[in-house]
Structure 1
Amino acid sequence: MAQPAITPEHWTELIAARRQRRLCSEHVEALKRSCASECGKRHVSECTKCWSLVLERMRQRYSESPEREWFTSRKAFYQELEGLFADAKEHRTSVRQLEARIESEKEAWYRWILRRHQEFIVTCNDQTVHEELRSMLDDPDRSRDEVVGMVWRGIGKPPDWAEHVDAFAVEVAAAGGNPAALQRLYVKEFFMDHETGEPLEDSKPYLDEYTSNESMGIEEMLGKMSKLAQELRVIRPHRESLMSRLDDLMRARMADELNKKQQAKSQAQAAEERIAGDELYDLPPCAVCGKVLDTHDVFSCTVCQAVAQIGGDQGLTVYCSEECYDAGHAKHVGEMHRCHAGDDCVQNRNNGQDEDVVMEDEAALDAFACKECVGLKRMTLFCSERCASENIASHLQEEHETKMNADEVSSLISSLSDEIETILRRENPGLRMELM
């Protein structure tokens, strides 16, 4: 039997399976009663004619099912069944062996479903369960009950799940295929909090899209939600890696000469060279613990320091110790110096498939800044050269009211590390720069 072009919902298949199983059982029982009353045999298997009719009805259950069920597209299985039923009619194999083969094929189908559909991986956050389930799916010695148990372990097993599935299937069947009735039922089941009657958290965009599109099936909507969840799972570690790389850059470029060594060097050269500006000595309290700082022993955010020294409004962000720096600087960077592209950042669009920069040397780990903003005494940052190149045009239009040509990109952005080093060396010629 050919596979339908549109696959119905899984619960529709469940309803069909139950209906076809019931009809087959009723027909077989009727044949048994007829044989007992008309043929006088102790068991239908002793009557060649009736036994053939019983087996033929069982064969039709799988080979001629009018509805889509789990076995519908498994053509090789159909061919094998034809031979098995023929052997059963000649008593060369038993019905028990037939049933065992069908159960074995159904288990193989179930394992295939778990490999093909990723909803389980999205729902379960336990990596140990993921690995154990993959191992089970490829191990024929692990029983179906073990596989099912591992799935329940990953997603959590509601105490009344069987009753709930039965009740839901009854409601679907009662809708009689009416699209409007089914949509109301699916909205209530999948998008609403059953206790409050309100939409589930973060579900409204999907709910609006589903209810506004009469031709969209519920499985298509659930598929889109699952795909997005998978993409976010892939993107998240890349975003965290980006923040870590930016933090490493800030830490590496921090002017260690703000501590005792830098201050001593500046004082020794004060007669010949201009020392650090007064703004570096008018320090706020520690950004983490609030302690008043000694200018001879301080850690600073290098970007804030550079902006302060070119006359920007942003004040210094400082820490009294390396411990406070470790505790608070990553949060500060994430809040104050994140990628200006926001939702348009390349990290949000490439789904984690490719690196957003070609890392040929250490410079590729750098962030990039808008040169015009630096001239206006502020820092507008992009996470990479590619991100800056793709978003600088819209930034110039929105914030500087200027347009650019494609060949002007390199002249409008610059490496953040180069800008910081230029500013600190220009404003503090008497201070020696050292990497942390």
Structure 2
Amino acid sequence: MRKMVMIMLGAVLLAGCQDGQSVDKKKPGETESISTTNNSEDEGTKEDEKVEFPTSSTDAVDIVKQPEGIKVKETDAAEKSVMEKFPAENLTNEELVNGLVYWFAMDYSSIDKLLTDYEPNFAEYEGKEQEEKIQNVAIHLDSSGSMIGAVRDGVKMDLAKKAIQSFGEDFPEDSYLSLRTYGHKGNNENSGKELSCSSTELMYEPSHYDEGTFNEALNKFKPTGWTPLANSVKAGYEDLKVKADENTSNSLFIVSDGIETCGGDPAAAAKELADSDLKVKVYIIGFNVDDEGQKQLKEAAKAGNGKYFTVNSKIELENSLTNLLSEAKAGYKRNFSLSQYYTATNFHSVKLSKEVDELRTEFIERMRDETTFYIEAINELKNQGKIDNAQAEFVENIVNERQENVLAYITQLAEEAQMKIKKKLEILQAEADKR
């Protein structure tokens, strides 16, 4: 009998242990973690075993390819409440670095690609003489409520307006430009959906660019409601038709931060424009758009015989608009004298050089933001008594090494890009001399 009681007691204890232990299944891109929890109401304790983090690197090429840290967009690393959750206990120095990188690494992928794949755009100067069509461009800016959201450089709508303002300043004098917004009425609640989904309004009439009038038009609206993208695309036909003739090339540029939310079909609307008598090309810039939004916007741009660009910061947005402007200006009628050509190409090379410098600066700013995250995080961990001075010093040394390596990498990429500009300029001017 006593033997039977002992067996039953052992089974109860074994079952209790199994109920108190949970094992997280490993997912792609994640490391395996195991936590043991005692569910007894009397004890109420929780014991966390050591967490394994992905291995980090000090190599610059690896660093710029690292995934964004899981805490970067959530809050400030220096906040006590955040670092209280960091599992620093029982970690080696290397594991501590791995954990901080996993939490606070910056995403360099987009800016790295711009510099790595950089090719200077001299499209408008490829031939000394060009007899092509005048550009007729309609710009449509998303004014849905989500455009009030912030990215690392500021509020999305403010950044979009500034980029479009710069776009207008460089627009060819003899070409035509218009500005339309959509989703700027009603509100982003169900009560305002009907009005918002019917709202798309021409803010700058099709005409040559006038700085004062254009800037005034940009200030007439603010982020408000839903996203009637398809309706706005359809309205683009009327915007472009005003100035369209056999001598114009007609394009629709759209800046949006999300998908259609009013039940329309942007891809069908874009295809209708492309197939119309105006032969419109639809170019879409997705500003800080999620995967679902990118898929829809890409389909719309493809259906409209145009291109899709995805951007996440001010510099990327300005760069995309600059590329679109270069394509527009490439078809602009030009007939330079040789001296004018030299002046124009030299001036353009200086502008391109400045753009490369801005890309380099953006790269460095992201790197410094990441370094600040690490330094603030280890200071907070020291304040909480989770790490000692020796561990903090080890992390600081690794952080400094990562920063130095990335700086050298950025500098090399920027120098290579500047050299490409110089060589392209020399080739174009040498070809002009031979004509």
Same fold (TM over 0.5): no
- TM-score, structure 1 length as denominator? 0.22
The structure with more radius of gyration: 1
Q: Which has the higher helix share?
A: 1
Q: Which has the higher strand share?
A: 2
